[in-house]
Amino acid sequence: MPGKEAKQGLDLSGQVAAVTGGAGELCGAFAQALAAAGAAVAILDIRAELAEAKAKKIRKAKGRAIGIGADVTDRASLEAAAGRIRQEWRRLDLLINGAGGNSPLATTSDQQSFFDLPAEGVRQVFELNFLGTFLSCQILGKLILDTAGQGQIINLSSMNAFRPLTRIPAYSAAKAAVSNFTQWLAVHLAQNYTPQLRVNAIAPGFFLTDQNRFLLLDAKTGELTPRGKTILAHTPAGVFGQADDLISTLFWLLDPKSRLVNGVVVPVDGAFSAFSGV
């Protein structure tokens, strides 16, 4: 079970975590690992039923979790989620902002040139990835300050933030904004509130999940697309990641001994971002 190893190193008993996008593949694994390390976990996701199903699975394994239907692009929805967490556990210590993703509407293709990309697609992708992270940091970050008084925020950035990938201009720009905002908020909180509320980001490399499967694997044959092949050829590790590959980095960032690690974006990418291609 993810987190079992981590539990031996980091005990999160008594702490409360909120994970947005927690019904998804990567953040679902984060939620499970946090619960296995002893945290009570609120799984926030626009897919309310799936959030509750993930929470149920954690409770079955003797962990503490609740599922909350929440839309990170909607302040009122996040405020309602914050109210529910306060009511349930009276505090919040850790926030993982995982809700995010690309949209076919903001992706260039033979059928849809850059010049024809609809503003609506670009807006959706910016709202979900950037505004969703921003609003969550405002509302749930405030809950951390008001209740625990210190803690951690971890945002989900991407390889696109370092250098844009072809075809997905809005997602690339929105994740660059998430990285930039991670740095901004780390400094702002440390200077104006407390350096004990750290803000960092994880930038996963390529993990096969629902949001990118259509770009990396042929829907009919399951074979790698030309793009999938190119990515693997540029990943010195030679593999796509699995959600569990991110857990050790998550726990390293959460460890109080990492108290000076603040405002950084950590790539977990099998050296994709380090490789020049030659």
Contact (Cβ atoms closer than 8 angstroms) between residue 201 and residue 179: yes
Segment contacting ligand NAD by CB under 6 A, of 33-41, 57-65, 67-75, 187-195:
67-75
Shortest reach from residue 25's CB to ligand NAD, in Å: 4
Select the residue interacting with ligand NAD from 33, 39, 42, 45 (CB under 6 A).
Answer: 45
Which contacts (CB < 8 Å, 24+ apart) does range 48-57 have? Answer: 50/23, 51/22, 51/23, 53/23, 54/22, 54/23, 54/28, 57/32
Catalytic residue positions, numbered: 171
CB of 175 to ligand NAD, least distance (A): 7
Restricting to residues 146-175, name those near ligand NAD by CB under 6 A.
156, 158
**Interactions with ligand NAD, residue window 175-214 (CB under 6 A):** 204, 206-207, 209-212
For ligand NAD, give the closer residue by CB, 116 or 210.
Answer: 210
User: How many residues touch ligand NAD (CB under 6 A)?
Assistant: 29
Residues contributing to the site for ligand NAD (CB under 6 A): 20-21, 23-27, 45-47, 70-73, 98-101, 128, 132, 156, 158, 204, 206-207, 209-212
